[in-house]
Structure 1
Amino acid sequence: MNQLNQVGQGPLKVLWLHGLFGHAQAWGPMVSCLNTALFSHVFIDWRGYGRRKQVPGRHDLTEMAEDALALADQLGWAQFAVVAHDVGALAALQMLSMAPQRLRRWSAIAPVPPSGLSLSAADSAFYANAATQSDVRRSLLDLATGQRLAGPWLEHMVRQSVESATSSAFGDYFRACTHSTVAAQAGWASPALQVLAGEFDGLLPDALLRRSWLSGHPDAQFEVLRNAGHFPMEETPVVLAATVERFLCA
């Protein structure tokens, strides 16, 4: 984990955990909107993704949490904030179960429910095909953004997703989304939590996120990002950066 993707040198430390379709350098135009004087933002690649595409691993939630904590150790961060997207939120929960004293506060963007995705057998089989079939990835991206965004953007997202991750890693992390046991382990003890839902997210709508996340953490700050789907870092980057950083400063 020596090729760090870092933005800013500020005193407040933030570790960013990407989702299934992302990687450390795929946070979109939002990155240019971040406060680099107040924050030090570091973006991780999961094993099998981005600069760590060729690093072997189990591709499970425990390994994700271990790698994130190891990166914080490498950086010399005793305490830090976390921003997690999609399946990254499950890794953040696993981090809380392993080292709750280290997370100062954390923000979950379009997070997979703590208990995992609840899918029918047919949907699960279809979604699993996204590991090897680009047309399925495109369909999921289109659904996740409310079937309202331009084709060239969807194709760009598919292309960068395919190029930046191995199919085996993508498939394994998808299975982690559907077989999560982390909720029972984490115990919800904890630092302040922000949950951000996308208004047009067809995969993880705000009603599902309210029900699944607030039932375990009723004090969480919940907000719906208007005019965004599952990828607000691409869809509403200025608003996302401001919303997250405002929370992390509190």
Structure 2
Amino acid sequence: MTRTAQVNGISIGFDDAGIGPACVLVHGHPFDRSMWWPQVTSLTAAGYRVITADLRGYGRSTVVPGLTTLETLARDTFALLDHLDVDEVVLAGLSMGGQIAMECLRLFPERIAGLVLADTFAQGETPQGRTDRNRVADRLLAEGMAGYTTENLPKMMAAYNVAAMPDVAGHVRTMMLNTPPEGAAAALRGRAERRDYRELLTTVAVPALVVVGRDDQFTPVADAELMHRLIPGSMLSVIDGAGHLPNLEQPAAFNAALHAFLDQ
């Protein structure tokens, strides 16, 4: 059953499983915390406490129309940790979740014991990117999630996995269709205003892992390699047979990379 917490003027739906060092997993757009179930199962079995939450505007959390910045989403994440009386965490994020993790690093570096950036990128938004994100936001508000989901499912996963992995594809499709358009649009508008995190990454002083699906179209391997070069002493793992969601497309390989990182 979903737990909820009242923080920062909203209700956040979350799960808190396991006992041990705390790991926080931040989902991407347009998904919810259920995208992390293979990792929750694996990490809790290995002796970790795993906290997953629905970002504001997604899943079971409050929808706030308008524009939601990465800073707001980062502050929500740590307000939940305050509510749970959790001080220090290993923080992992995928795609938009990775950019939220980088914003958390900017705001709360002393509370991050390790960093995992999956299928994301550190560069600031381009003028064209800003235009495109706002146009997609307008479209979601006007049309809902159905057309967007149909067009983007073969990019969210590697196209060859959509047919080969019907259960995974069904899960991804359901998350996308169930995302409130107002929440997704607000986050897209916020991401269009995001800062550039490349310089920040050069200051990372904790263990870090960069992960990417070999066939990720949205955030290709080159983006992961750039972050790996910027972060001192970081590990890089490229997951074969996966696109933008290697944690769901190839969970065994993704989890192996995660455990190798956490156990070092």
Is TM > 0.5 for Structure 1 vs Structure 2? yes
Q: Write the distance in 2 (CA, Å) between the matches of 1:210 and 1:101.
A: 25
What pairs with 1:1-250 in structure 2 (closer than 5 Å)?
Answer: 1-2=4-5, 3-9=13-19, 11-54=20-63, 58-116=67-125, 119=128, 124=133, 127-128=136-137, 129=139, 132-150=144-162, 152=166, 154=169, 156-163=171-178, 165-183=179-197, 186=200, 188-190=202-204, 191-211=206-226, 213-214=227-228, 216-250=230-264
One-letter amino acid matched to 1:230? H
One-letter amino acid matched to 1:223? S
RMSD, aligned CA = 2.8
Q: Write the distance in 1 (CA, Å) between the matches of 2:64 and 2:190.
A: 18
Kindly indicate whether the alpha-carbon contact (under 8 Å) linking 1:109 and 1:196 is maintained by their aligned counterparts in 2: yes
One-letter amino acid matched to 2:243? G
Q: Write the distance in 2 (CA, Å) between the matches of 1:215 and 1:116.
A: 20
Task: Quickly say closer, same or farther: Cα 1:204–1:241, change in 2 above 3 A.
Answer: same
Task: Quickly say closer, same or farther: Cα 1:4–1:154, change in 2 above 3 A.
Answer: closer
Task: Quickly say closer, same or farther: Cα 1:169–1:185, change in 2 above 3 A.
Answer: farther
Task: Quickly say closer, same or farther: Cα 1:249–1:239, change in 2 above 3 A.
Answer: same
Q: Write the distance in 1 (CA, Å) between the matches of 2:246 and 2:201.
A: 28
| SS of residue matched to 1:4 | strand
Task: Quickly say closer, same or farther: Cα 1:155–1:39, change in 2 above 3 A.
Answer: closer
Q: Displacement, 1:59? A: 1.9
Task: Quickly say closer, same or farther: Cα 1:120–1:184, change in 2 above 3 A.
Answer: closer
| SS of residue matched to 2:230 | coil
Q: Displacement, 1:124? A: 4.7
Q: Sequence identity of aligned pairs in percent? A: 21
Task: Please list the CA deviations of residues 128-171 of structure 1 after superposition, one character each: whole Å capped at 9, or x if unmatched.
Answer: 435634222222221233321235554542332221x2212112
Q: Displacement, 1:121? A: 7.8
Kindly indicate whether the alpha-carbon contact (under 8 Å) linking 1:30 and 1:238 is maintained by their aligned counterparts in 2: no
**How many residue pairs end up in the alignment?**
247
Task: Quickly say closer, same or farther: Cα 1:34–1:95, change in 2 above 3 A.
Answer: same
Q: Write the distance in 2 (CA, Å) between the matches of 1:122 and 1:76.
A: 40
Identify unmatched segments of 5+ residues in structure 2: 6-12
Structure with higher RCO (Cα < 8 A, 6+ apart): 1
Q: Write the distance in 1 (CA, Å) between the matches of 2:219 and 2:126.
A: 9
Higher mean displacement: 167-176 or 48-57: 48-57
Higher mean displacement: 128-137 or 226-235: 128-137
One-letter amino acid matched to 2:83? Q
Q: Displacement, 1:27? A: 2.1
